[in-house]
Amino acid sequence: MHLKHVVYFFILFFYIPVWAQTEKTAIDFYNKGVEYFNAKNFELALASYSACIEKDPLYVKAYYNRGNCELNLQQFDSAVADFDKTISLDPSFVKALLFKGYTQLLKGEYDSSIATLTECILKDGTLYKAYVNRGTAYMKINSFDLAINDFTMAIVNGEHSYAIFLNRAICKNKTDDILGALADFNAAANVKPDQSITSAEKAKIYLKLKKWNEAIAEITNAIRKNPSEADLYQYRGYAKLMLEDDIGAVTDFTICLQINPTHIAALKNKAITTFRMGKYAEAASDYTNLLKTDGKNAELYVNRGTCYLEIKSYEQALSDFTEAISCKKDFAEAYFNRANTYTKLLDPKKACQDIKESVKLGYNPARAHVNVVCN
């Protein structure tokens, strides 16, 4: 045999048996899955855990870890199935219940999540994440007292995150525990001082308490952190409106509308403020924008009609009061204002008919003027 052939034969003979003996075991695939998972390569980790399970269908941790991969990949149904398989193989595997409940929470299955997490807590009452997640589920279904209890248990068990104090504060605010809410908002702010949402939520409490200056201070702080949030300017504008700082209020409502031109509350409050300032044409324009979003709102037509009446645009005022009556047949104020408009248009007969209808509908200001209009 030629020497070269002998060398090739030796190489093949030497390597084939070694290669044949390197087939991977279940634990090899499992360890590789852990490596991929720690590197946040969840697709490859999932494939490795699946290979592990194929080798060993009773490998409990592989199902649990694969479920976590699927959770991170937002494959929620598959994740729940793997957590269920983990629990069926090992009923004491409490963390599988925890993550199953969390997955159900993310899916919006709040009742199922609560049931799963309750089972988890009954098996291990020290897992603060179970209380956090169940509290969040209770919060989603507006069971605020139960949510507060769970968030409190999470804090007792060592959870002191920004989110836990913020969520408990929001729940306390919903149950009118104002002082408790403020305390939790302050605790959240201590954890993350740079979060604008904390100042915004505190400001809402001050608005509820009619502490306008305190609200303005908190909102101004929130705006410094998040100057592109339209709602913040609306809230601050409202506080200024209550303090009769009309110029400041209109400025904030205008900024809000520059960010979000269809912000209903800002449009309404700006219209109210500009009308109070005697800027009737600007107020009419604001009501026009509001009517684009709610074209059957009788009160908006009356308000815009009143603006037109003030700037002596009587035909436009008449059209708006008529439209208001079309939207709401028993709108006594609309009849009264249309009567006033007919008077301006020198049509006393129609003015008298409308003011009598307004009186009939129980509008007291009409009673004081009916004799004058009809005579």
pLDDT the model gives residue 257:
96
pLDDT at position 123 is 95
Distance CA 133, CA 154 (A): 10
Superfamily in which the 24-91 domain is placed by CATH: Tetratricopeptide repeat domain (1.25.40.10)
Domains 24-91 and 280-375 share a fold: yes
Quick check: pTM over 0.85?
A: no
The string of pLDDT tens digits covering residues 96-118 is 999 999 999 999 999 999 999 99
For residue 124, is it left (φ>0), alpha (ψ between -120 and 50) or beta? beta
pLDDT at 195: 81
How many whole angstroms separate alpha carbon 80 and alpha carbon 195? 34
In the chain, which stretches have pLDDT less than 70? 1-22
Round to whole Å and give the CA distance between 267 and 137.
35
> Do 113 and 105 form a contact (C-beta atoms < 8 A)?
yes
Tell which residue, 263, 256, 266, has the closest CA to residue 230.
Answer: 256
Burial (CB < 10 A; 0-12, 13-18, 19+), residue 176, is: exposed
Predicted local confidence at residue 22, as pLDDT = 66
Q: Cα separation of 375 and 360, whole Å?
A: 18
Euclidean distance between CA atoms 81 and 142, whole angstroms = 28
Q: What does the pLDDT read at residue 358?
A: 95
184: enclosing H helix or E strand: helix 178-191
Structure tokens, 49: 């855990």
What pLDDT sits at residue 196? 79
Q: Which residue has the tokens 């004081």?
A: 368
The residues near 46 (Cβ < 8 Å, ≥ 6 apart) are 33, 66, 69, 70, 73
Give me the torsion for CA of 185, 189, 192, 193, rounded to 10°: 150
pLDDT number for residue 17: 47
How do the domains of the chain map onto residue ranges?
A: 24-91, 280-375
Q: pLDDT value at position 49?
A: 97
CATH topology of domain 280-375: 1.25.40
The identity of residue 61, as a single letter, is K
